[in-house]
Amino acid sequence: MKANVIGLTLLLFVLSACETRPAPIESSLADALDTITEEKLSAHLTYLADDSLEGREAGQPGYGLAATYVTEQYAEMGLEPGGSDGWYQQVPLATYLLDPDSPTMIVHRDGIDTALKYKEQFAMSGDQVRGEDLVRAEVVYVGFGVHAPDVGYSDYDGVDVEGKIVALFDNAPSTLPGDSRAHYSSRRVKAQEAVSRGAIGSIALRSKRSVESYPWDRVRQTAGKKPGMAWVDLSGAASGYFPEILGSVYLSVDAATQMMAGTPMSFAGARAATESDTPASVPLGIEVTLARKTTHERIESPNVIGVVRGTDPELTDEYVIFSAHLDHTGIGEPVEGSTDKINNGAYDNAMGIALMLEAARAIAAAPPRRSVMFIGLTAEEKGLLGSDYFAHYPTVPSASIVANVNLDMPLFLFPVAELVGFGAEHSSLQAPMSAAAAAEGFVLAPDPMPEENFFVRSDQYSFVKQGIPSSYLDVTLRSSDPEIDGAALVKDHLKNHYHKPSDDLSRPVDWDSAVRFARANARIGFAIANDDDRPTWNEGDFFGEMFAPED
Ligand SMILES: [Zn+2]
């Protein structure tokens, strides 16, 4: 562990003492930070969240306008293009759209076949590659579907899922330590586990938490409306694709209750077992048929990349990466009583891009020793695709990337008291992030909601999986005004505005908090990029050991 309080003081020294650089439009750290203003942040937000950008969906014209805007900003700030094609790294994407007449689910029990109703009782997405799927197999209930031998937990002990369809809940047992709980909660990790044991299909069951956070009405409303997406690798294969899985379905609570009634495990019994973290896996003694047809298209959508060149010849080939997703969910469904269909994504994530752009402006005004790369990411809303593609095919050598700081939907609904660096506690990033927060009048608080696993749920995790120390900078629920219930305002935003047309320019913004957040974010960049040492994972850290074991 190193003390980056020293780093910040050193930085001022380095900025004034370094003579190896040519002397361009260089200013002091304070002057650089002072370039960040409400007017500039608000101008980005106003452009990016405008109706004319139609919700910036990856692959759509509105995203193209947003991408062009970001390149113009980079150019004006004096950044170098950092893509594989100028400012752009085109991400090849495969779309897959379910044929709306095709989704089929039939439960076979004691010689009786019961067909369930698509959208009313179940939802599914298309297959990433195949045009047509049909599978009939026995169903095995597997709890959370977690196999975590490192912590002595397994939902697969004593059950055989070879050639079977697994039925499982989301998340992972609360008895797992936070880091491994986050890791084992990942759908991809669960799918990998199931497939390695020979499973050929999956049925997702709804926990109380998923019922509360995403009512079935919204599942029904959005099911089948938009194509899913995967990125395509150099050999043409879709990312994260498990060809072994011939069908997957998402069941409403009613349908799950009906399907599991009279089997060795009722739905209510299964849910109670997961709530008490008890593995209770058991073959259900029923068979299910799943079928679907899917149509596919190939498109591309760019990550938008600019670089502030580092001034130290020894360190200029190392990169600190700032990222924020530039895409949103495009044109969607109006809420009742409104005709507005455009998901403007003002907070999600035009705000993150605005903050990142102003960090770029400040850092370009006083270039640090290492290079700093800024990426407006595509297709986050389609499953972190732009970041995952970049992390697999970085435009600079992977080993030269020293850290990632990501921004995703910071909410300034009230005067903010605290920042949080999700995942910062896993690496030496904690120190510069704490110092930067403090310098702007914030406290860097510990993760207030570890059970939400935010660290593994946004774009920084694509970098973590490549072994790069990373963090996701955000605000907590606490207001500096004791009269304001920050948690209530955030809850209201998530329930009534998140991923809806009303996440638009009418949402309130506490600009004083936003400006100080932007300054803190830029300070983090200065501190990491000027430090003598590159960031490291903490000794014995779960993510460090998992993804960067040679360190
Ligand atoms: Zn979103």
The pLDDT, as a whole number, for residue 548 is 84
370 CA → ligand 1 middle, Å = 31
CB of 381 closer than 8 Å to CB of 482: no
Higher pLDDT among residues 71 and 234, named by residue: 71
Distance 342 CA to ligand 1 centre (A): 14
Task: Say how many Å lie between the CA of residue 138 and the centre of ligand 1.
Answer: 36
Q: What burial class does residue 117 get, using C-beta atoms within 10 Å of its C-beta: 0-12 exposed, 13-18 middle, 19+ buried?
A: exposed
Q: What is the pLDDT of residues 257-275, one digit of tens each?
A: 999 999 999 999 999 999 9
Please give the distance, rounded to the nearest whole angstrom, from the Cα atom of residue 348 to the centre of ligand 1.
5
pLDDT in tens, 197-209: 999 999 999 999 8
Q: What burial class does residue 155 get, using C-beta atoms within 10 Å of its C-beta: 0-12 exposed, 13-18 middle, 19+ buried?
A: buried
Work out whether the CA dihedral 491, 496, 498, 504 comes out positive or negative: negative
Q: In this structure, are residues 83 and 119 in contact, taking their beta carbons and an 8 Å threshold? A: no
Q: Work out the average pLDDT over 77-86.
A: 97
Residue 437 has pLDDT above 90, yes or no: yes
The answer to which of 46-60, 274-288, 455-469 has the lowest mean pLDDT is: 455-469
- First-residue to last-residue Cα distance in the chain: 14
d(CA 444, CA 442): 6
Pairing of strands 470-475, 401-407: parallel
Distance 327 CA to ligand 1 centre (A): 9
Mean pLDDT for 9-23 is: 39
d(Cα 66, Cα 50) in Å, to the nearest integer?
10
Using one digit for the tens of pLDDT, what is the confidence trace for 138-192? Answer: 999 999 999 999 889 999 999 999 999 999 999 999 999 877 888 899 888 999 9
Task: Respond yes or no on whether the N-terminal peptide bond of residue 496 is cis (omega within 30° of 0).
Answer: no
For residue 58, report the distance from its CA to the centre of ligand 1, in Å: 12
Distances (CA, A) of 91 to 236, 294, 379, 403: 12, 22, 9, 22
pLDDT at residue 136, rounded to an integer: 98
- Residue linked to tokens 């460090």: 544
Give distance in angstroms: CA of 498 to centre of ligand 1.
7
Query: What type of residue is 544?
Result: G
25 vs 239, which has greater pLDDT?
239
pLDDT value at residue 18: 41
What is the pLDDT, as a whole number, of residue 23? Answer: 40
**Which structure tokens are listed for 520?**
């803190």
How confident is residue 86, by pLDDT bands cut at 50, 70 and 90?
very high
Query: What integer best gives the mean pLDDT of the chain?
Result: 91
How far apart are alpha carbons 93 and 254 in whole angstroms? 35
Q: How far is the CA of 541 from the centre of ligand 1 (A)?
A: 29
CA of 493 to the centre of ligand 1 (A): 12
The residues, any chain, with a CB within 8 Å of residue 495's CB and separated by 6 or more, are none
Q: How many residues does the chain have?
A: 551
Parallel, antiparallel, or unpaired for β 247-251 and 282-308?
unpaired
pLDDT, one tens digit per residue, over 217-248 is: 989 988 888 889 999 988 888 888 999 999 99
Q: What is the pLDDT of residue 27?
A: 64
Considering only CA atoms, give the Rg of the chain.
24
- Token pair in block for residue 59: 């692959």
At a CB cut-off of 8 Å and minimum separation 6, what does 337 contact?
none
User: In this predicted structure, what is the pLDDT of residue 151?
Assistant: 87
> Taking residues 3-15, what's their average pLDDT?
36
Give me the helices (H) in 375-429, please: 385-392
